[in-house]
Amino acid sequence: MEPLRIGNASGFYGDRLSAVREMLEGGPLDVLTGDYLAELTMLILGRARLKNPMYGYASTFARQMEDCLGLAHERGVKIVTNAGGLNPAGLAAVLRDMADRFGIAVRIAHVEGDDLMGTPGRWPEALTANAYLGAWGIKECLDAGADVVVTGRVTDASLVVGPAAAHFGWGREDWDALAGATVAGHILECGAQATGGNFSFFTEIPDPLRPGFPIAEIASDGSSVITKHEGTGGAVTVETVTAQLLYEIAGPRYPGPDVTTRFDTVRLAQDGPDRVRVHGAAGEPPPPATKVCLNHLGGHRNQMTFVLTGLDVEEKAALARAQLEAAMTPRPRTVRWTLARTDHRDAGSEEEASAFLRCVVMDPDPKVVGRAFSGAAVELALASYPGFHATSPPTEASPYGVYTAAYIPNEEVTHVAVLPGGERVEIPPPARTADLAGDAPPPLPDPLPEPLPEGPVRRAALGLVAGARSGDKGGDANVGLWARTEDGWRWLAHALTVERFRELVPEARGLTVTRHALPRLRALNFVVSGLLGEGVAASTRFDPQAKALGEWLRSRELDIPEALL
């Protein structure tokens, strides 16, 4: 049976607007997916829905379909997207009106049931509450002849698993095939991150200005080849795919509503220029509980960044901090200070001679962190350190949200496929599950390679021998690192312990750090619990989604065997 070619044209709400047309015109495809949702996006859509109940979906997708719905139909490409957000039925209605207006004979279906707002006795103060649905509602819609399937909150990988299951006729206990498609979906879900975007060794990527979007050629056994349209920018290599595999994961077991995927079984091999074969994925039954993404309004926040130029930076920072602390009446519930020493000695420009002192304040009362805070900061302008100025003028307080995860039994989630003709089909929960903490099979041993023999070492940056990709999962951060060579893996696996990680990332010293080894990828994954506080929307950290945490780690120096350098 011929492979199913699934491309992706969106990795987040705000991705390249032209990508849908580029993917449709760039070469053959069977299915085009678009991932528009993240934990932060659900909060953004929730606030939009407060203003107008008709909103709550990704409006950019509707704009893309205005341009490309007819083109997709002409080329026989099915569209599967989670752009429905909090209102998949509303987006499906918009698309039907659009098709009627343009005279395009497309069959549109949607999937609902993820929205748990209003569930009696649960989360009364939540702004959004959405279960992570799986692939089977998507499959039901495609089996009924849908050309476009709109979902709300499904797992990102399910956008790929659903079409693959429909095409190949997989059953719900074809664990290995489902796991393989889940891996392919995880690789595709962040768009150009699989084709050289945000890649540690970006200087090695040919034509990095506009990376193409990825394609998975999925086989009937769930294995795949990751590629991209010929002539597009970027590159598809074992390392670019490894980087994306390590993005926002935890342990070797990757639980989802369709299958628990064993990332420690995945193998990669270069299969030609811009082609990486992904195979070997093993699957296990999914867990008995469904993850729920909760967002609620946490309060209001504001911030000021003071510029400290020239000499006596530490003393200037101390004065500004003492003055503003004394002037903030009442004091906000949360006050966070950070001093970034970006200044250079005997600098050739004023900017290079400057450091930045940032104050972030948070409080339930917008007045406390609004004009009261801004006014206190402004009043220091002529009475503080020499050279006083800020990077931006004061602003009003802005609301922030708090993300938390909850879990409910699978049976309590109503998963419904609304077919092109309007028929509603309820999708039953999985008949067989396995609790990762209980009845799941024992984990694979953590086989580490033989360490390198003793030899001379040199102090150097970790990034000379390892790549990294980092990101956020709620309030936790993950950093995945891979070695570029087998000898590099023999060193990295033994050198980068949890203790050494804490030394290199001082912010993690008081936090729980868990290390997971993925030997078949020559990779380690570190999960830092609580580094991001209450999640991206509430985080006061300089890099609230930990996107650059891996690159900071790569810049840290330690003793590396000279043989690797």
Side-chain half-sphere CA neighbours of 327 within 13 A: 20
Side-chain half-sphere CA neighbours of 558 within 13 A: 20
Give the C-alpha separation, 21 to 32, whole Å. 11
If DSSP codes are grouped into helix, strand and coil, which group holds residue 137? helix
Helices 313-327 & 371-378 angle (0-180, nearest 10): 140
Q: What is the pLDDT along the chain (565 residues), one digit of tens a residue?
A: 899 999 999 999 999 999 999 999 999 999 999 999 998 899 899 988 888 888 999 999 999 999 999 999 999 999 999 999 999 999 999 999 999 999 999 999 999 999 999 888 899 889 999 999 999 999 999 999 999 999 999 999 999 999 999 999 999 999 999 999 999 999 999 999 999 999 999 999 999 999 999 999 999 999 999 999 999 999 999 999 999 999 999 999 999 999 999 999 999 999 999 999 999 999 999 999 999 999 999 999 999 999 999 999 999 999 999 999 999 999 999 999 999 999 999 999 999 999 999 999 999 999 999 989 999 999 999 999 999 999 988 889 999 999 999 999 999 999 999 999 999 999 999 999 998 876 656 656 667 899 999 999 999 999 999 999 999 988 999 999 999 999 999 999 999 999 999 999 999 999 999 999 999 999 999 999 999 988 887 888 889 999 999 999 999 999 999 999 9
One DSSP character per residue, 521-532 reads GTEEEEEETTTT
Compute the C-alpha angle 16/18/22, nearest 5°.
115
pLDDT at residue 120 in the model: 84
Give the C-alpha separation, 555 to 464, whole Å. 9
pLDDT at residue 439 in the model: 62
Q: How far is CA 554 from CA 151, 339, 398, 462, 492, in A?
A: 38, 22, 34, 5, 12
Three-state SS letters, 232-248: CECCCCHHHHHHHHCCC
DSSP H helices in 104-157: 136-143
DSSP H helices in 59-217: 59-75, 88-102, 136-143, 158-168, 175-188
Q: Residue for token digits 């920018």?
A: 233
Give the C-alpha separation, 62 to 90, whole Å. 11
Q: What is the dihedral of CA 416, 417, 418, 420, to 10 degrees?
A: 180
For 301-402, CATH number out of 3.90.1150.200, 3.30.70.2690, 3.30.365.10, 3.40.630.30 equals 3.30.70.2690
pTM passes above 0.85: yes
